[in-house]
Amino acid sequence: MKILDPRFGLFVGDSDSCALERLKYGEKLPGKGFSPEDLSLILSPSGWRGVFASSEDDDSGEPAERMLWAALSMAGAAAEYFSAFSGKPTILVGCDARPTGPAICEIFLRVFLALGIPCEYLFITPAPEIMAAARNRRECGGFCYISASHNPIGHNGVKLGRQDGGVLPGIEAAPIIQRVKDILASPEELDRLRESADGADSRNLEALFQQVSDAQNRASRIYSAFSGSVVFDTYPDKKSALQESLKKMPLGVVGELNGSARGVSIDREFMEDLGLRVRLYNSRPGEILHAILPEGESLEPCSMLLQESWREDPAFLLGYVPDNDGDRGNIVYIDPDGGRGHILQAQEVFALTCLSELACARMFGKGGNTPQAVVVNGPSSLRINEIAESFGAKLFRAEVGEANVVSLARRLRNEGFTVRILGEGSNGGTITHPSAVRDPLNTIMALVKLLRLQDADGKTPGHLWFELRGDTPPVSGSLALSHILESLPKYQTTPTGEARAKYRVPAGSHNLLKSRYESVFTERWGARPDILNSLGISAYRFVNYEGTERREGPGNRSGEGRGGFSVEFLNDKGQAKAFVWMRGSGTEPVFRLMADVPGDREDTEVTLLEWHRGILDAAIESGA
């Protein structure tokens, strides 16, 4: 029976047909099975993904035939993992708004049903919502979320997590990833899984499809309550204070949702309940109007919409654009002095969010005297170090990947630290404890608190920041985001979306290439760029990031050396004042590059990145 979503009329599923019907054993499956490389799959703790449609730009909604085998192997490995849970807890299954999601979800549901795993289907739902539901429902054991996050429309993938509401840590994800590879390589296992999925009881599948609205409503209620606890943390009494402040000093938010999963979520209701004025655009899930990655040109439509809203109502000062699964959202803002919309760089978004949460904890928190810490990924700007230091917080770095920063934060909490804010500054992704996932709702609310949450004397977290810096606020009344942005420590950082942030490398060992880079770098240190000397740089330090570990020193890597690699430039006190960074892609023969330099001269970052690239050129030539 064909089931449609009652809210938008979207196709949920058809229990009388099977997405696997196109797979006929022996005709489509090679005798040796598949390798991840055959299917261009990336399998990492933060998620498994690949191009599931016929191309990365295909929006037809029909997965390529060979990628059905990939989905089947992933479903089989996930089912084995969840089947080992005692008490048979319910597993939540959902997807973002890209077209191939329902077909892949159906495969997972069929495999779960065939193997007796209790499950509930949320259909299209944002990642933070399904994760909050898994965390806060006693009968839930975890989640399976079908998404490729910010990647193009033809991509898709899988994230798995337990009841703690975060993706699995690397140590737990590794054996599941190995099982995906084993199943893919075995025609016998693939065919057994295909037969099991094909034989799943259609009545149970139809019931899951019919109950989608109830499941979504239940998840939304849980997510709304959980979001309130995240936003107001240890100061829940300040919710009413924010509501009162917004009555006196209104603030409006524009959301350009770009057909993402956030169109089915709580954004409008949650923000309006606090007294914010809200306008949402392009909120029908699946109607993706521009590039999914919320950076650069993808933020221009929101900037224009915000400008139009501000002209009608000057309270509208903030806007956000999520990616397709709704766990990442970058920000645009209005400068009231000029009335123009401006795009925040990802590193600036993360810096402002960190500033807000640390200031709120200082002003309103009741967390006791435990030491504060902030956790970021390797390529987060050193600006974050300065902000954390202003609040007496210690900063820790992990390898790129949501699972890595979340795991490191958990470890630090077990060691006695309070870790309120963590994330990946390089992409603007902010994770606010007790949440374990990036969430644009928490990001936008951090900025709202920064500007409008007041203490008894009418002081906001933004005003506290100026006090700590020893500065006078530029205005006597309410602060605008532009005022605080101008006060941030000045750094020039390579934007991740620019072409010069990618470097094509020949196939081969990442470990060997990094060792050659270290040798060339050491030889060229004496001829380093003048900008380093002008910053008082007298030494350097090689740093490797592997999972949650920071490993200092040349060659201090394990395995294939595929983690992040950084060269920190040190002053005479041994403090890092700038850095260059690189990390190999898991899906293409490129390294991602970055330079981070203090100051407001853009040419310094350009010069340092070019020097970095030149050393890579020489390292590659030395091995030719």
pLDDT of 341-389, one tens digit each?
Answer: 999 999 999 999 999 999 999 999 876 788 999 999 999 999 999 999 9
Closest CA to 115 of 188, 196, 181: 196
80 and 200 belong to one structural domain:
yes
Question: How much of the chain exceeds pLDDT 90, in percent?
Answer: 80
The model scores a pTM over 0.75: yes
pLDDT tens readout for residues 403-457: 899 999 999 999 999 999 999 999 888 999 999 999 999 999 999 999 999 999 9
289 and 360 belong to one structural domain:
no
- Give DSSP secondary structure letters for 207-228: HHHHTHHHHHHHHHHHHHHHHH
- The pLDDT of residue 377: 97
pLDDT at 24 over 70: no
Domain that holds residue 112: 2-221
Q: How confident is the model at residue 478 (pLDDT cuts 50, 70, 90)?
A: confident
Let me know if residue 441 belongs to a domain.
yes
Q: Please identify, among 344, 361, 384, the residue that sits at the C-terminal boundary of a domain.
A: 344
Let me know if residue 241 belongs to a domain.
no
Let me know if residue 38 belongs to a domain.
yes
- The pLDDT of residue 545: 97
- The pLDDT of residue 60: 85
pLDDT tens readout for residues 281-334: 999 999 999 999 898 899 999 999 999 999 999 999 999 999 999 998 899 999
Let me know if residue 8 belongs to a domain.
yes
pLDDT tens readout for residues 189-214: 998 999 999 889 999 999 999 999 99
Strand partners, 91: 119, 142
- Average pLDDT (233-255) is 94
Who's near 392: CB < 8 A, 6+ residues apart? 372
Residue 30 buriedness (CB in 10 A; 0-12 / 13-18 / 19+): exposed
Contact 262, 126 (CB under 8 A): yes
* Mean pLDDT rounded to a whole number for the chain: 93
- State how far the Cα of 344 lies from the Cα of 162, in Å rounded to an integer: 33
- The pLDDT of residue 394: 97
- The pLDDT of residue 45: 78
User: What is the number of other CB atoms lying within 10 angstroms of the CB of residue 529?
Assistant: 15
- Average pLDDT (244-257) is 97
What domain count does the chain have? Answer: 4
Q: Please identify, among 317, 344, 371, the residue that sits at the C-terminal boundary of a domain.
A: 344
Contact 154, 59 (CB under 8 A): yes
469 and 510 belong to one structural domain:
no
Q: How confident is the model at residue 20 (pLDDT cuts 50, 70, 90)?
A: confident
- The pLDDT of residue 30: 58
User: What is the number of other CB atoms lying within 10 angstroms of the CB of residue 513?
Assistant: 22
Let me know if residue 185 belongs to a domain.
yes
Q: Please identify, among 221, 241, 270, the residue that sits at the C-terminal boundary of a domain.
A: 221
Strand partners, 123: 94
Encoded tokens for 46: 């933060």
377 and 477 belong to one structural domain:
yes
pLDDT at 587 over 60: no
302 and 384 belong to one structural domain:
no
Question: How much of the chain exceeds pLDDT 70, in percent?
Answer: 98
Any idea what the CATH number is for the domain that residue 155 is in? 3.40.120.10
- The pLDDT of residue 497: 80
Closest CA to 583 of 574, 593, 596: 593
- State how far the Cα of 374 lies from the Cα of 430, in Å rounded to an integer: 11
Contact 565, 548 (CB under 8 A): no
Strand ranges across the sheet with 252-256: 277-281, 252-256, 316-322, 329-335, 340-343
Let me know if residue 242 belongs to a domain.
no
511 and 384 belong to one structural domain:
no
- The pLDDT of residue 26: 46
Contact 277, 225 (CB under 8 A): no
pLDDT at 584 over 60: yes
pLDDT tens readout for residues 27-61: 555 567 899 988 989 898 778 999 999 998 888 88
- The pLDDT of residue 451: 96
277 and 319 belong to one structural domain:
yes
189 and 206 belong to one structural domain:
yes
Let me know if residue 238 belongs to a domain.
no
- The pLDDT of residue 471: 87
Q: How confident is the model at residue 255 (pLDDT cuts 50, 70, 90)?
A: very high
- The pLDDT of residue 268: 98
147 and 100 belong to one structural domain:
yes
- The pLDDT of residue 221: 98
Let me know if residue 228 belongs to a domain.
no
Any idea what the CATH number is for the domain that residue 591 is in? 3.30.310.50
- The pLDDT of residue 608: 97
pLDDT tens readout for residues 447-464: 999 999 999 999 999 999
pLDDT tens readout for residues 145-167: 999 988 899 999 999 999 999 89
- The DSSP symbol for 501 reads G
Instruction: Kindly tell me the sign of the dihedral angle through the C-alpha atoms of 318, 319, 323, 327.
Output: positive
Strand partners, 539: 570
14 and 157 belong to one structural domain:
yes
321 and 215 belong to one structural domain:
no
pLDDT at 79 over 80: yes
19 and 153 belong to one structural domain:
yes
pLDDT at 130 over 60: yes
